[in-house]
Structure 1
Amino acid sequence: MVRGIVESIERDRAFWYDQCTLPPTYQTFFQLHLLYILILLPRLRALPAATASTEHPIPEPLDPGAPGASPASSTPSPASSGSESGSGSGGGGTAVLSKPLHESYPTELLQHFFELAESEMRQVLGRGERERVVRKYMDEMGEQWRGAGAGLDYVLGLTGSEEVAERAKADSELASWVWRNLLGSRGLTVPSEGEGKSEETMGENLELVVRFVRREMARLDRISDADVINGNIGEWGAPAP
């Protein structure tokens, strides 16, 4: 599943980095991959509460030696947050696989995501960087995951609310969430002369991303539990038509 996310982002690189003008930084790398992870997590949390087979391969890590693979991660798995975005544990293997599906799959997905994130960070910082520096940055990334996960859970709560007024503001809240977490809160300052057009384009791109999130969540909801359990979630759609 993580491999599919990596491939989809690379496929749509022109949209994310050129059209949305996201800077080619580690922070963009992290937030962009996190976006896909958070779109997928609600579907995994909706899996039945049956116990997974300890012999079944759940969302796979990248192949050892492949770009982004981290054979020996020193980053602790993300700890539980106040939201239901999933929780990590230091243990893997049967300890994770013996958990109910709706717990084990999100845990494994997050574990593989943070392995990818740490591997990318080590490439950016260089081989000689001290472990405590890497750990400090990864702790910060964990905090960003918790904050973004809680924010998206709030949006999903509005979407499923019985109150018409709450459902009506779900998309605007989702747009605000994307703006804060992916677009770096652009537009907080008054644009200088000549920047108005870029701000208008940002609004158009923001709408495309919101539609992309909604569309992909709806697509994942239509996939059977059996296919999700087997990792058959199909190909991610393009954020732009």
Structure 2
Amino acid sequence: IAWLMGYHSKTSTAIRETRLPYAQCAQRDTDESRFLHGGDLAPTYQTWFQITNLHVWLLTTRYRALPKTHGRRYVQELVNHFFIDVEHRMRVTLSNKAPERVVKGYMREMRDQWAGAGIALDLGLIGSDAELSGAVWRNVFAARGL
């Protein structure tokens, strides 16, 4: 009966299979303060977004190595989990009374940051170590000195 309900469809499988890897990317580590202070990063929503975005990108590069029929679905569902979480955390951070237009504006900005970071990291991956480290420096550390 699960098959008839679509439980074992390729999309449903991708949704289930990407949930745990995303949850592990997005969780706040108990030793997070050491990482944040070592990198001189403030414990803000933007820091969480950029670090989680980096982890999501690492997973998407792995999923893109899968056969195309599976890889595309897995990447899409991972990104869906990411943006559902981004919106949820944004609403919690802004408070539930934030106007919808404000949330939508920030979501567009987060989408642009996600796309820009993805392109920069992809170019760094096929380029040199200096290009990849530059992309991480610009996106995670906001291109500032440590």
Instruction: Quickly name the TM-score band, shorter chain normalised.
Output: 0.7 to 0.9
2:123·2:132 contact (CA, 8 Å) conserved in 1? no
Tell me, what secondary structure is at the counterpart of 1:10? coil
Structure 2: any 5+ residue segments left out of the alignment? 1-20
**Other-structure match for 1:131:** 100
Taking the aligned partners of 1:48 and 1:178, their CA distance within structure 2 comes to 28
**Other-structure match for 1:172:** 130
The residue identity in structure 1 corresponding to 2:142 is G
The alpha carbon displacement at 1:11 in A equals 3.8
Tell me, what secondary structure is at the counterpart of 2:29? helix
Mapping 1:28-107, distance limit 5 Å:
28-49=47-68, 100-107=69-76
Taking the aligned partners of 2:125 and 2:58, their CA distance within structure 1 comes to 11
**Other-structure match for 1:86:** none
Moved over 6 A (4+): none
The residue identity in structure 1 corresponding to 2:66 is L
Structure 1: any 5+ residue segments left out of the alignment? 50-99, 159-169, 188-201, 203-241
The alpha carbon displacement at 1:12 in A equals 4.1
The residue identity in structure 1 corresponding to 2:40 is T
More helix by share: 2
Aligned length: 126
| Percent of residue pairs bearing the same amino acid type | 40
Give the number of the structure whose alpha-carbon radius of gyration is greater. Answer: 1
Taking the aligned partners of 2:112 and 2:119, their CA distance within structure 1 comes to 11
**Other-structure match for 2:29:** 10
**Other-structure match for 2:124:** 155
Question: RMSD of the TM alignment (CA)?
Answer: 1.3
Taking the aligned partners of 2:107 and 2:95, their CA distance within structure 1 comes to 15
